[in-house]
Amino acid sequence: MTEADFEDLLTKVTSDLAAKAARSPFTNSPQFERAVRVALADEGLPVDLHPHPQAFPDISLGRLGVEVKFTEHDTWRSVANSVFEGMRDEHVEVIYVVFGKMGGVPGVRFAKYEDCVMHVRTSHVPRFELDIDATRSLFDKMGIEYDDFRVLPDRDKMRYVREYARGRLRPGEHLWWMDDTQEPRHTLPMEVRLYMRLPQEEKRRLRAEAALLCPQIVKPSRSRNKYNDAVAYLLTYHGVLCPQARDLFSAGSVAMRTDQTRGGRYIERALQDIENEMLSAASQLEDALFEEYWGRSVPPGLRISEWLKLADDYADGWRPSETLFTNHVRQNGC
């Protein structure tokens, strides 16, 4: 059967199902999917009436397939399957969506799967989101054909998904997930911990990571939002809440000199105090974080010198490169 013939058949099937829904709406997804299977079988197609519940697509018909979607709401939009398509029937080359909408005026429509996938949700396992009325597909937005995307390794799929998600961020927003794989190395802790209750050693390590990724913390004291990214990093990547952002770097308690004197430029002294921890962070943090927070990949050996350049641009009235990491720069010639 050609795609054109199959689309003619789907036009008839969805029209018949829509008429049934107008008389008596389908009440749940299993009932609707069963009705779609029976309708296709009545057209002489070899439909399995007792399928595997996790198969993708729901109905396999040789090289053609049907994914069934159902909603009780008045919308043609629905969450679809995982971008990894782990249960995909590899014999199926072309997939169509048959969508039953029972909210508002009940209706049943169909569309080509790749044309109506228009977004990807990244709350847990990334999942496609589809809309029968989509004017531009997700794959067009990502710059790749669906048939090319679906055969990529999971890591390569996630690179496309991550770039798509990054392109949707508003100023000041960052991705909380970084990994390229289906099973990321990093997972967000379930519990949220308060920064002020952490052991001192952990506080220093977290301050160093946040300072390295967010050089804008050296902005003048009256600058608004200069600590936002640092606080967000601790919360989204470590599950640590810091209600008072100044506790991280500018409070006297974190910038006290060894002789216990106060005053001066707190942020400068606070950073001098955690230089060793920042050096460790520069060598250990994953590259995806620097792509996210700095907008580019930077080799571990160049991260401190690059940080100093960024910090010099943010600072006003002093140059971090003149007082911070001087031994490191001297030893490494950068």
Q: Is residue 188 part of a domain?
A: no
Q: Is residue 34 part of a domain?
A: yes
Of the residues 167, 183, 207, which one is the last residue of a structural domain?
A: 167
Q: What is the pLDDT at residue 330?
A: 66
Q: CA 282 → CA 5, 188, 195, 252, distances in Å?
A: 59, 21, 22, 25
Q: Is residue 178 part of a domain?
A: no
Mean pLDDT of 303-321: 94
91 pLDDT more than 90 = yes
> Looking at the structure, do residues 133 and 213 belong to the same domain, yes or no?
no
> Looking at the structure, do residues 313 and 240 belong to the same domain, yes or no?
yes
| pLDDT, averaged across the chain | 86
> Looking at the structure, do residues 156 and 204 belong to the same domain, yes or no?
no
List, in sequence order, the alpha helices (H) in 220-262: 228-238, 246-249
> Looking at the structure, do residues 136 and 88 belong to the same domain, yes or no?
yes
Q: Which domain holds residue 33?
A: 3-167
> Looking at the structure, do residues 313 and 265 belong to the same domain, yes or no?
yes
Of the residues 133, 167, 201, which one is the last residue of a structural domain?
A: 167
> Looking at the structure, do residues 148 and 235 belong to the same domain, yes or no?
no
The owner of tokens 């996790």 is 54
What are the tens digits of pLDDT across the range 36-65?
A: 999 999 999 999 888 777 789 999 999 999
Q: Is residue 173 part of a domain?
A: no
Any idea what DSSP says for residue 167? H
246 pLDDT more than 60 = yes
Please answer whether residues 70 and 61 qualify as being in contact, where contact means their C-beta atoms are separated by less than 8 angstroms.
no
160 closest CA partner among 120, 123, 188: 120
Q: Is residue 176 part of a domain?
A: no
Residues 6+ apart with CB under 8 A from 251: 244, 266
> Looking at the structure, do residues 26 and 158 belong to the same domain, yes or no?
yes
Residues 6+ apart with CB under 8 A from 59: 36, 37, 40, 47, 48, 51, 65, 66, 67, 68
Rg for the chain, CA atoms, rounded: 27
| pLDDT category of residue 203 using cuts at 50, 70 and 90 | very high
Burial class (CB in 10 A: 0-12, 13-18, 19+), 98: buried
> Looking at the structure, do residues 72 and 33 belong to the same domain, yes or no?
yes
**One-letter identity of residue 255:** A
Any idea what DSSP says for residue 218? G
Domain count, the chain: 2
Q: Is residue 172 part of a domain?
A: no
- Cis bond upstream, residue 57 (ω within 30): yes
Please answer whether residues 217 and 226 qualify as being in contact, where contact means their C-beta atoms are separated by less than 8 angstroms.
yes
Cα-Cα end-to-end distance for the chain = 66
250 closest CA partner among 234, 232, 233, 231: 231
What are the tens digits of pLDDT across the range 173-196?
A: 666 555 554 444 444 554 568 888
Q: Is residue 210 part of a domain?
A: yes
> Looking at the structure, do residues 144 and 231 belong to the same domain, yes or no?
no
Q: Is residue 323 part of a domain?
A: yes
Residues 6+ apart with CB under 8 A from 247: 195, 196, 253, 254
Q: Which residue has the higher pLDDT, 142 or 250?
A: 142
> Looking at the structure, do residues 206 and 162 belong to the same domain, yes or no?
no
279 closest CA partner among 209, 198, 186, 201: 209
> Looking at the structure, do residues 105 and 15 belong to the same domain, yes or no?
yes
Q: How much is the pTM?
A: 0.60
Q: Which residue has the higher pLDDT, 295 or 119?
A: 119
> Looking at the structure, do residues 81 and 202 belong to the same domain, yes or no?
no
Q: What is the pLDDT at residue 183?
A: 43
Q: What is the pLDDT at residue 173?
A: 60
55 closest CA partner among 23, 13, 86: 86
263 pLDDT more than 70 = no
Q: Which residue has the higher pLDDT, 185 or 242?
A: 242
Q: What is the pLDDT at residue 250?
A: 64
